Amino acid sequence: MANLKELKRKIGSVKNTQKTTKAMKLVSSAKLRRTEELAKRSRVYASKLTQLLNEIAAKMKHMRAEGLDNVYFRETEPKQVDIVFITADKGLCGGFNAQTIKRVNALIESYRKQDVKVRLRAIGRKGIDYYRFNGMELSDEIVGLSSAPTYQEAAEFIAEVTDAYLKGHSDRVIMVHNGYVNMITQEIREDQLLPVDTSKLDLDQVSLSDLEMEPEDDDTLLEALVKRYLEYSIYYALIDSLAAEHSARMQAMDAATNNAKEMVKNLTIKYNKARQEAITTELIEIISGMEALK
Amino acid sequence: MEFLKLEIVTPGGVIFDDDVRQVTLPGADGEFGVLPQHAALVSLLDSGVIEIEKKDGSVTAVAINSGYCKVDEEKTLCVVDGAVALNDGDLAKTLEEVQELLQKAQASSTAIATAVSKVERIAKA
């Protein structure tokens, strides 16, 4: 019976797929745990750094006649915006990459309407592939960083972005990535990297004591701190995105495994029905043959 | 005896968080010591060695590549890029790690030698 054989083959193939998806889910959950740990540890560093930056910026705002007038903080009407976005290097993680791309597209659209030029800097193969396919130009294409983030490489990348900003090639840098909330939720995050988003800092806190600075030049200190802050922001975003990727993949693979299970169930019922049908037909044939002989 | 709280944070996590008697930091404009009740200060840190006199009077060291510190009356916070702490394990290995860390930070060879010998001296004391 061709139909029976076909069904049996199908069941076997779905079962194999199920094995693969199950394994991928396990791998992702192990990786997620590791990445989550990394994110947790670096969160402390991030919060301390932000706190330090905040204090120095607040001090400069209060102590100096001209206020906080530094190139890193100067908010201008943008003419050229750089969008840095992070996607995964691999697929099979549900809508993870698509969501980021969708947000980037929406951003591009809204800036285009305001007659602002947009330049894209992509991290992660999936995003690169998408924009290449759609014939959009990417000024940076970085592969491998989003699946294995290192501080060094992240710092090198952001140094280049900062350089372009300082030279006036761009007036605003925005970063988009899909961040990790918990095991089952991811959230698109959009951060303004440059100029530093002062709304996130609490600049109006009154400093309790006069803070001595070393080196004396405030700008040197602030500049170095802002650079570090940026490096860290991108590094943290990469880790965050990686954690989100793993959790998204875990979910996708879980759903796939469940679907496969459902499919096997349905196919088995079909198979049994077909088998029963075959038996019935055969029986009828035998009986009618016997009847004919009488 | 008065203590100040010292916290050293790196991207890899918190590596030191305890009350100490005194700490010596490698500032960008030169080395400086911090005792409890030190005036508020923010400083850039150069690659070098943080010397810590712990609560019980024993001395330990943490080699760093670069970072910042913020001192106020009761607390000193160091936010550094990379650090190697002196521990009870293999000294030779620790020294090697210190050297590697500083080399990555492109410190001059004299700075590396000073830092390594300092860590060694403290370890053997």
Phi, psi at B25, each rounded to 5°: -115, 145
Alpha-carbon gap: B7 to the closest alpha carbon of chain A (Å) = 10
Helix (H) or strand (E) holding A78: none
Q: Is the pLDDT of residue A39 over 60?
A: yes
pLDDT given for residue A249 in this prediction: 93
Q: Do B11 and A224 touch (CB under 8 A)?
A: no
Find residue B6's DSSP bridge partners: B18, B76
Do A126 and A265 have their domain in common? no
Residue A135 to residue A117: CA distance in whole angstroms: 17
Cβ-nearest to A213 among B14, B42, B72: B42
Do A80 and A96 have their domain in common? yes
* Cβ neighbours of A228 in B, within 8 Å: 68, 81
Residue A170 to residue A190: CA distance in whole angstroms: 18
Note the Cα A83 to chain centre separation in Å: 14
Find residue A179's DSSP bridge partners: A187
Dihedral sign for Cα atoms in the order B100, B103, B109, B113? negative
Q: Which domain holds residue A285?
A: 2-25+253-293
Do A54 and A69 have their domain in common? yes
Cβ-nearest to B40 among A41, A44, A211: A211
Do A172 and A99 have their domain in common? yes
Do A152 and A21 have their domain in common? no
Q: Which domain holds residue B14?
A: 1-125
Do A127 and A237 have their domain in common? yes
Q: Is the pLDDT of residue A63 over 90?
A: no
Q: Do B41 and A211 touch (CB under 8 A)?
A: yes
Cβ-nearest to A225 among B41, B68, B73: B68
pLDDT in tens, B1-28: 788 999 998 887 888 899 999 999 998 8
Do A149 and A90 have their domain in common? yes
Do A112 and A157 have their domain in common? yes
Residue B111 to residue B97: CA distance in whole angstroms: 15
- Residues 6 or more apart whose Cβ sits within 8 Å of residue A115: none
What number of C-beta contacts closer than 8 Å exist between A and B? 67
Q: Which residue has the higher pLDDT, A212 or A33?
A: A33
Question: Could you give the maximum distance between any two Cα atoms of chain A, in Å?
Answer: 118
Proportion of chain A above pLDDT 90, given as a percent: 48
Q: Do B68 and A211 touch (CB under 8 A)?
A: no
Domains identified in chain A, total number: 2
Domain at A200, CATH number: 3.40.1380.10
Q: Is the pLDDT of residue A34 over 70?
A: yes
pLDDT given for residue A122 in this prediction: 92
Domains identified in chain B, total number: 1
Do A107 and A6 have their domain in common? no
Residue B22 to residue B54: CA distance in whole angstroms: 7
Residue B46 in 3-state DSSP? coil
Give the DSSP per-residue string, B70-112.
EE-SSEEEEEES-EEE--SS-HHHHHHHHHHHHHHTT--HHHH
Cβ-nearest to A214 among B43, B79, B81: B43
pLDDT given for residue A86 in this prediction: 93
Residue B40 to residue B72: CA distance in whole angstroms: 4
CB-based contact A123:A86 (threshold 8 Å)? yes
- Residues 6 or more apart whose Cβ sits within 8 Å of residue B19: B3, B4, B5, B6, B55
Identify from B5, B10, B38, B68 which residue to disrupt to test chain A contact, counting A C-beta atoms within 10 A and taking the largest count: B68
* For range A243-248, the mean pLDDT: 93
Q: Do B12 and A41 touch (CB under 8 A)?
A: yes
pLDDT given for residue A202 in this prediction: 67
The pTM of the full predicted model, rounded to 2 decimals, is 0.82
Domain at B78, CATH number: 2.60.15.10
Give the DSSP per-residue string, A118-180.
EEEEEESHHHHHHHHHTT--EEEEE-STTTS--HHHHHHHHHHHHHHHHTTS-SEEEEEEEEE
Do A61 and A183 have their domain in common? yes
pLDDT in tens, B46-100: 888 899 998 888 888 898 888 888 888 888 999 888 888 877 677 888 888 888 8
* For range A106-125, the mean pLDDT: 91
Do A259 and A192 have their domain in common? no
Do A71 and A16 have their domain in common? no
